[in-house]
Structure 1
């Protein structure tokens, strides 16, 4: 990638903690064939002993592979072509672990610079050579996209702005060039005596959906929430078959005023919140934890873990067409053309369809799966 110096702030090369990584993952790699196949899932979790790991789960209900994490993980970026995954620390963590799905190479532990932290999400370039991660600048409190060389030990080679505060999920669009970035608008800060999760600007939030050129960092377009919805933080994203970007939100206002939480937009199309005939915002407890697109690109699944619900949206009709009830279920991913796999904090992995068809349930006692899951295809 040619780095456009007008938009990138080139960072110094990091020194990877190779000794620490070798110690942490001693014995992970051997000649064992993991038997990982299409349809297996990757998720971060809390283990029965209270420590954290990232696991690969088989479709038959067993754990195929497990790698320890130094803290709680959040989402996973998956390079399907290269067979590599990166799990990010939960905000405001600064570590990420890159690993070959099939165990052919030693895992790589890497970190943000000292004045940055991850927001838990990232995505690979189409060719798999670069990793883009949503990050926080502790100095300016602005959002940035950190750029890492996936072919060179995940050395950080630059960054560009997200054009907002509190970026959460970023996805690479079908054109292979444009990043859609959910700027949540919530300002946080890491300093002594603070966890880095305190919300400092709820009254003045400015959530936005930004479209950014991944090769130059240039802002292509940006859509802001309306003044009346400035406390509706945009968090998670998925692109449907028509190219529209669907988003799930988190309400930071009074519970009595909870609006609808799911909407769509495009590069040249402003934000539109869908308004079901039966209001859902309060019933979803003001929080969408993850969104996913079905295999045929026509259905969106949106999880509401605080309410124990997953709702399904027909992207053409822009209407809610079904729901699944599953306590503390957040992570969700397409399992087929019209079904979804979901995990819960209760150690459950379940596959359902929007028409209330239940396909399978697997239980992993003592484990608590985190907010996101990815599927190997």
Structure 2
């Protein structure tokens, strides 16, 4: 009969035998991409933009979630998606394929609990776009349950630093489950929802009525709990509106307009967002520009980069990926080349 000491020793040995990110080549980032053949893959990249691994995907990817300790990633399909692949990145093997319950769709993003035991997934009820957060056990990869996201059309969700509180970007848009056409632009309303791990709505922040057609999509978090959020404007394109906002629990939303000369540069579309030190980067593949702001939301600069969307922090600045295969470094002064791959990088560059 196994003693308690033997059981503990077995658990420790099992944990130690699990490949770490070092075993996977110590990638700094994950990104989905389209290959020249038309196939799709998940890449692991170094801070210098070098490819560490390439793992095939069955269809176009969007974002990924990196396990906090083991070399494991979940690659999410572009919304509305029906796959989320759990990949052992050191070996390139598929650990599990997650499928949402009938009548549901994944919405491109997910986040792990602090200990990596639970994966939270952004989902919608296909027919109504009602938001759902799915909960998955990461040991056996079975579904634990679900709860409301607090709104319609959730996209990115993140765990606040140092806590298990989730913040969800509910974009507010009801979409056709087949062709993604937008069905409720006249009545849409997006929000930031803060949820406990059991689904209790702790706080919710909405934009003012005149900006209700600004869809909150993507998030970047500071250690003090400040949430920077990127938006996509679904209103009159001739009306420039801020695409960056800041929020901290218990406070009012703050909107952060760009410089006067940059009001139309992003063409109403922010594709991704990241924080690095005292800067926030906001990308727009539609406008071919990346705008920089201070951590307090004051505009700093706008730098042109065709089809730039993926962005992630590094010391002293950011790494940016674009649809032409380039990986570049961005600082206040502008871009510097790092690497180029035979791939069209997709929307997000995820820091491990």
TM-score relative to the length of structure 1: 0.83
- What is the deviation of 1:279? 5.7
Deviation at 1:241, TM superposition (A): 3.8
**Residue in structure 1 matched with residue 292 of structure 2 by the alignment:** 312
Per the alignment, residue 213 of structure 1 pairs with 196
Per the alignment, residue 322 of structure 2 pairs with: 344
- The CA distance in 1 between the partners of 2:282 and 2:262, in whole Å, is 12
Matches of residues 130-169 of structure 1 in structure 2 within 5 Å?
130-152=118-140, 154-169=141-156
Q: Is the counterpart of residue 236 in structure 1 residue 218 in structure 2?
A: yes
- 1:142-162 C-alpha deviation (Å, 9 max, x unpaired): 10101111111x211111101
1:368 corresponds to:
344
d(CA) in 2 for partners of 1:108, 1:281 = 45
CA distance in 2: counterparts of 1:47 and 1:276, whole angstroms = 35
Question: Whole-Å Cα distance in 1 between the matches of residues 339 and 129 of structure 2?
Answer: 41
Contact preservation (8 Å) 2:132, 2:147? yes
Deviation (angstroms), 1:176: 2.0
For 2:34 and 2:259, locate their aligned partners in 1 and report how far apart those are by CA, in whole Å. Answer: 38
Indicate whether 1:107 and 2:107 are aligned.
no
Residue 183 (structure 2) aligns with: 200
Secondary structure of 2:347's aligned partner: strand
For 1:187 and 1:130, how far apart are their aligned partners in 2? 28
Q: Within 5 Å, which residues of 2 pair with 1:2-151?
A: 36-38=24-26, 40-59=28-47, 61-103=49-91, 106-151=94-139
Identify if the C-alpha distance between structure 1 residues 255 and 159 changes in structure 2 by more than 3 Å, giving closer, same or farther: same
Q: What is the DSSP-based 3-state SS (H/G/I as helix, E as strand, rest coil) of the residue aligned with 1:164?
A: strand
Q: Which moved more, 1:75-84 or 1:222-231?
A: 75-84
Instruction: Specify the SS of the correspondent of 2:186.
Output: helix
Q: 1:274 aligns with which of 256, 268, 272?
A: 256
Q: Report the Cα offset of residue 141 of structure 1.
A: 3.0
Structure 1 gap segments, 5+ residues each: 1-32
Please list every run of 5 or more consecutive structure 2 residues that lacks an aligned counterpart in the other structure.
1-20
Structure 2: how far apart are the matches of 1:289 and 1:323? 15
RMSD: 2.1
* DSSP 3-state at the match of 2:150: coil
Cα distance, 1:107 vs structure 2: 3.1
Aligned partners of 1:39 and 1:375 also within 8 Å: no
Total equivalences in the alignment: 333
How far residue 288 of structure 1 moved from its aligned partner, in angstroms, is 0.5
